[in-house]
Amino acid sequence: MDEQNNNNKVTSENELNSDEGPGGLNPSDRPGKRRPIPSSFKLIVAAMVGMIAAYFLVFYPLPYYIYQPGSAENIRPMVQVTKQNPPDQGTFMLTTVGVMHANALTYAWAELTDKEMQQRKNVLLVGETEEEYNQRQVYSMVSSQSNAILAAYRNLTLPFHFETESIMVMHLVPGMPAANVLRVGDVLLKMDGKVMESAEQLVNFLVGKKAGDTVTITFKRGETVLEKQVALDYLPVEPAESGKAAAARRVGVGISYNFLMSVQPENPENHVAIQAGEIGGPSAGLMFTLEIINQLLPEDISKGHRIAGTGTISEDGTVGPIGGIPYKVIAANREKAEIFFAPKENAADAIKQANKLKTKMKIVTIGTLSEARDYLKQLPEAAATKK
């Protein structure tokens, strides 16, 4: 009897201590139980989730531009004048605004650091692509440089004349054959071997052409000159004005363009060339003009000072407003500018930023090129340049 009870105890204990359940089933194989997920699979999933999150944080673009301080750069190496005068002791500097595309991380950083942001749709024109916006900035800079040369010649009463250099492609009409050949930013040199020197000449060239006709276009892309056949086609129908009949469909190339004009001096010694590199926009006009004048004159109009600034320039010397002046003030202060020329419309913001920086840099309000020159004339020589 005792032996039987002991055997029963042993059997019960063995059943309790066995890895198998009743009927030899592993607990994990019992109905209603799930196999544990292998740790290696968990790591793979975690890594994939991390990579997706990193992509959206770093690489997925948001529809915003973030503005921040750019650079303050010496203009002298960008301007070449044929006439050789003694080297200047001072420095004129253009200033820029840094612009970056926002992602989730930079957007959060901008919010925390109170950086200025603009929605992309508020920066681009209606229907404008980002490529076309960039090209518009390039054209604005080229036009600004021409205005700077013209304003300098007029200020110094140097005789000059205009020359048409080329046509710059600013927009391509979707669906037109030219859109498959040309790119925004291409510079058209010739049409069927003829140089186009005015909009009227280009219009007259297309008179009598039919859809399907081809023209040979010689153009410059970067530093490469290309020659391609381009078919003409009907241009999109323009909406008729109220109460007027729709105009007849016209045949054309299918581009929007601007003419690039150069200002040439009558005296070759006064010839000016500007190479600004990747800098875009018109806001360096005033500073380019001052550097051109400085190189055309034998004296140093900067009088040995480090002078930064900003502002557009018109043909008659009017200085116009620009954007992002607080960031330009920061950039100029970082490069130890002593004086900062600010357009009168932006002067209050420039002074406010200068006070915030507690800088010794003086903000000078400028409305015209003549005002800038008058200020420089009464400026004393910098201590380092006094004899």
Give the 3-state DSSP-derived string for 105-121, with helices as H, strands as E and coil as C.
Answer: HHHHHHHHCCCEEEEHH
**Range list for CATH 3.30.230.10 in the chain:** 63-159+267-380
Q: Please state which of the ranges 8-12, 183-187, 349-353 shows the lowest mean pLDDT.
A: 8-12
User: Is residue 194 annotated as part of the catalytic site, yes or no?
Assistant: no
Q: How confident is the prediction for the chain on average, in pLDDT?
A: 83
Compute the distance between CA of residue 223 and CA of residue 257 in angstroms, rounded to an integer. 19
Q: What angle do CA 353, 357, 360 make, to 5 degrees?
A: 100
Q: What is the pLDDT of residue 11?
A: 46
Q: Is the pLDDT of residue 377 over 60?
A: yes
- Amino acid in position 158: L
Just give the CATH number of 160-265.
Answer: 2.30.42.10
How much of the chain is in helix, strand and coil states, percent to nearest 5? 40, 25, 35
In CATH, 63-159+267-380 is 3.40.50.1970: no
- Amino acid in position 140: S
User: Is residue 42 annotated as part of the catalytic site, yes or no?
Assistant: no
Q: Is the pLDDT of residue 18 over 50?
A: no
- Percent of the chain residues past pLDDT 90, beyond the cut: 48
Burial of 278 (0-12, 13-18, 19+ CB in 10 A): exposed
pLDDT mean over 80-105: 86
Q: Is the pLDDT of residue 4 over 60?
A: no
**321-365 pLDDT tens trace:** 998 999 999 999 999 999 999 999 999 999 999 999 999 999 999
Q: What is the pLDDT of residue 13?
A: 46
Q: What is the pLDDT of residue 304?
A: 95
Which one of 328, 356, 362, 370 is the catalytic residue?
328
- Highest mean pLDDT of the ranges 96-110, 119-133, 238-252, 352-366: 352-366
Higher-scoring residue by pLDDT: 22, 337: 337
Which one of 283, 352, 370, 377 is the catalytic residue?
283
